[in-house]
Amino acid sequence: MVLFECQRIYMWRIMFLMLYNLTLVHLLSRTMRLLQISPIHWKGLLVLFAIGFITQFLGRHLQKSSPQTFTVQRLLFSPSTSNCQPKSHIVFLKTHKTAGSTVLNMLNRYGDRNSLTFALPQKYQFSYPNLFNSNMVKGYDEVNKSTYDILCHHLRFNLPEVRKLMPADSFYFTILRDPATLAESSFSYYHSVSSVFKKAPNLTEFIAHPLYYYKPGEKGNQHARNFQWFDLGLDPDTPFNESLARADVKEIKRVFNLVLLSEYFDESMVLLKEELCWDLDDVVNFKQNSRESSTPLDKREKDMLRAWNALDWYLYVYFNRTFWEKVEKFGREKMDIEVSRLRERRQQLAEICLEGLDPVRGNEINEKGIKPFQFGQEKIMGWVVKMDLEPNTRAWCVQMVIPELRYKDILEAKQFPGSVRNGSKPAGTTVKLLGS
């Protein structure tokens, strides 16, 4: 009904526009004759009028779609202004507790919309905490040397095996976090499952006597010391030695084109967008996998945790420096502008897509496909997507909040039709028109 009403008003406007322009043309031609202006000149003017009319007509036509379609158009088009070629061969090392799930959602969306192939694990992780091996990839054909566009699920990095399946021009990136806050997040998240943390009554106790609880080489240690160093495929129990650490870090710098920082997530997204030559909407995201609350650390505790995780702290300090060097090169002012654009767009999308602008507890989300995965005793937060949206808009919004494990099921179902176990697809996730 609303649509018919819009169309009727629209037709009247076009008729009015036509009459208005014809009258103008008529008056003009009469004036030209009276002033005895040569026919060539006034005919030229008539052509100009005709062009003006068509422009007006098209301009109004583009503006006057129904409001819902307009919303989708805004979601669809935020074209890049640069002439670069978007990158689609990507290796993302998803380190733990570093905002990797938010990055992953973005990669899932991009790959999904552009029909890229993902190197997927048989289950949900690549036999973590074992070192990555190409035969852990579902459907990998060693003989025919299958290659993929994106590798991004949790794994323990092993470059020679990654190189077997990823194209030589792949863009490698990862994300790091201050090991002090990472340790707090890790302790609370893995407290009930980690052999080390289980023994400690609380974080304060663990910080005070880590060696009482931590036995080097014990299974499941990775959560408790130099977690990022471990994810990078290095030995977290190596006693800290600056020249050895420097050599390892230099090697990481050689392999990874970009190292992001979770504390500067938005700046990170701007650098990433630039390097990948993607559009703003490709890197806009809503926070994933956040906890309801965290325990604040005082300076002494932070210092102690950084000392305990000395290899991670060295790594973080090094890449913090390289990060800001990149920002400097990009231009501080330009960065501020881009970060503002990103935040504005996030706000705009949140207003379009979400019920409420803050994440909510899982039990407040009724839609099964977007409930956050709950792990241990932590309350992991998620988002409620508005129900009364135009289907394409809703599909876009849902994609932005699908938790990583469920998105993996969706991608797997797409890549391996008929072979997926319980991958129930969230309602309305097919975005046929978007980004295609």
Binding residues for ligand PPS (CB under 6 A): 96-102, 185, 262, 265, 287-291, 294
Instruction: Quote the CA–CA distance of 310 and 236 in Å, as a whole number.
Output: 9
Q: How far is the CB of 185 from ligand PPS (least distance, A)?
A: 3
Minimum CB distance to ligand PPS smaller for 76 or for 258: 258
Burial of 319 (0-12, 13-18, 19+ CB in 10 A): buried
Instruction: Quote the CA–CA distance of 274 and 268 in Å, as a whole number.
Output: 10
Instruction: Quote the CA–CA distance of 69 and 329 in Å, as a whole number.
Output: 40
Task: Determine how many CB atoms are found less than 10 A away from the CB of residue 176.
Answer: 26
Q: How far is the CB of 248 from ligand PPS (least distance, A)?
A: 22
Encoded tokens for 395: 């599909």
Minimum CB distance to ligand PPS smaller for 166 or for 260: 260
Taking Cα atoms as reference points, which of 272, 277, 286, 276 lies closest to residue 346? 286
Taking Cα atoms as reference points, which of 62, 40, 41, 60 lies closest to residue 52? 60
Taking Cα atoms as reference points, which of 111, 129, 357 lies closest to residue 120? 111
Taking Cα atoms as reference points, which of 115, 108, 106 lies closest to residue 432? 115
Burial of 46 (0-12, 13-18, 19+ CB in 10 A): middle
Instruction: Quote the CA–CA distance of 345 and 355 in Å, as a whole number.
Output: 17
Q: How far is the CB of 18 from ligand PPS (least distance, A)?
A: 52
Instruction: Write down the residue that tokens 């323990």 correspond to.
Output: 156
Instruction: Write down the residue that tokens 């996998």 correspond to.
Output: 289
Q: How far is the CB of 291 from ligand PPS (least distance, A)?
A: 4
Q: How far is the CB of 293 from ligand PPS (least distance, A)?
A: 9
Minimum CB distance to ligand PPS smaller for 194 or for 289: 289
Minimum CB distance to ligand PPS smaller for 326 or for 346: 346
Encoded tokens for 293: 């609350």
Handedness of CA 332, 333, 338, 343 (dihedral sign): positive
Minimum CB distance to ligand PPS smaller for 185 or for 222: 185
Task: Determine how many CB atoms are found less than 10 A away from the CB of residue 382.
Answer: 26
Q: How far is the CB of 396 from ligand PPS (least distance, A)?
A: 19
Minimum CB distance to ligand PPS smaller for 100 or for 369: 100
Taking Cα atoms as reference points, which of 233, 271, 221, 250 lies closest to residue 315? 250
Instruction: Quote the CA–CA distance of 430 and 399 in Å, as a whole number.
Output: 9
Q: Name the pairing type of β-strands 381-382 and 360-361.
A: antiparallel
Minimum CB distance to ligand PPS smaller for 288 or for 392: 288
Q: How far is the CB of 334 from ligand PPS (least distance, A)?
A: 21
**Adjacent-strand bridge partners of 258:** 173
Minimum CB distance to ligand PPS smaller for 203 or for 389: 203
Instruction: Write down the residue that tokens 């503006």 correspond to.
Output: 63
Identify the DSSP state of 77: -
**First and final CA of the chain: distance in angstroms?**
30
Q: How far is the CB of 146 from ligand PPS (least distance, A)?
A: 26
Q: How far is the CB of 7 from ligand PPS (least distance, A)?
A: 42
**Adjacent-strand bridge partners of 151:** 91
Minimum CB distance to ligand PPS smaller for 223 or for 392: 223
Q: How far is the CB of 190 from ligand PPS (least distance, A)?
A: 9
Minimum CB distance to ligand PPS smaller for 104 or for 434: 104
Minimum CB distance to ligand PPS smaller for 194 or for 290: 290
Q: How far is the CB of 73 from ligand PPS (least distance, A)?
A: 27
Instruction: Quote the CA–CA distance of 123 and 154 in Å, as a whole number.
Output: 11
